[in-house]
A and B are shown apart, each in its own frame.
Chain A
């Protein structure tokens, strides 16, 4: 649980973050979205005291972050940044082991943890343990960067545009992997992005920021259905709202009884994908497949019902 109360940061009398109050529940992903200069990164960096607040408080699990020296606080909070920031003079294993080493874990425990994380991030330990960062692809570096952030099993993970340097295909995969890993570990994540699609895809809650203020902090459905002001609306792109709503639900959630012809769609696919497939293949309904079995169908009408203003 992260509680941010009346948090502000002033530089030369100018408020970069202005009286922000928000809370992130355990195991949730909060996406902070805004244009550059909106103060979103400064807000994130105040949580692990890379930036010291001018006023206001931050509590993690009820404990004020000012209660301990910054370096000790940071060892308990995962931190993943754009451009990964891997140490170029250390191999993959040593990079991942950074925080456990600082915490003084013994060697066997560190080695076991490194292998566990490499496996979790689909990097074969035997092949990757001793590679240097410059021997990795962009996507692999990014995964090692997140693995390093999670190495000591932090309850909270902060991510600053973690997928910003990746190309679209690898980014989509990295986002899905992150969701998968987050579900398994139950980590509370605060993620900064300038990309509303990414925020909607990853966030249980979205904070839209501009000029240092949080304009709206709500679940994605609510942000799409009832944007608080014109800025939030502009960030959403008003023309895409119906499709953004569709992208929030999966085919599995809208499945109904009845027959349908042609190639099935998986239950995990979004309604947006399902609707696009119906338009493309001129079908009124698609069979829905879950674990290899057809469980029903999803119709155009069902999609359209989900896409209208709530």
Chain B
């Protein structure tokens, strides 16, 4: 008997299992329809819509100032950057000249948001592979950023700080000092992350060579952000299409070519260093000036189509506005990073174990409201 006939004599039965919409690994209401053979994943089908709130449709009803506030609720961990994306689109359409001060503050706050998001991701990532302690370390440092936001924006999660034309109000007098203090603090704490999790043998074994995504696949699936860059796909919007003050700073686009879970993990860790470098370059020379330019109380965009993309903590967020010249957009579409990144989950998880699926999903850093909108 050759090996194939021996194998066919053993009956292996695939079965179906429902992961979610309420499951600890899916971080929200993502539902995964898994086809499993023993422990081996045969097929992953994400089922979306459990937190769909038709934000895009609501945008057609709202004025441009109101739309900004809806975007907080998409990718709530990058809420500041989401706000910025809409504001930039509207400002570009109106061809407003934005003061340098606004641009710099937006960039600093954007990078702080990215840091906070990556810290939370790191904590949850550890939890997904079973190291529960990381969660509290991540949250300890994130708390300091939230405090800075609380002081300046008045909110800790849904910032609502950007408005078309600038910022809602000026930064708090403590902002510069507190941000500097945070950077000094976090520079000593980030190596702790590596000591606690990255270097761990079990962690390395869990991540290395798991959930491999090639550069070609990353491009064809539309991967962006750390997921794309972990596969060697240079897709940093801040680098290729600089917006706000990103053309004034020097930073490296972190690229890894391995394409496995560990690469995506390391990209985020190194991005935290880069974010701190960006903030350090800007924090000491925030230009003086106005914190907003006056806009009409009712903003009417000119007739036409406008598109602006920004780099959120998860990847490329695109805002497409189709305007007919009224005070509401005719159609508004968000290109969310999470949606494209989720689409490649089946590709990277098939053939792995259930544990691998959870670990790879954690490195995609999914925020479900961002996918469903």
Chain A partners chain B: no
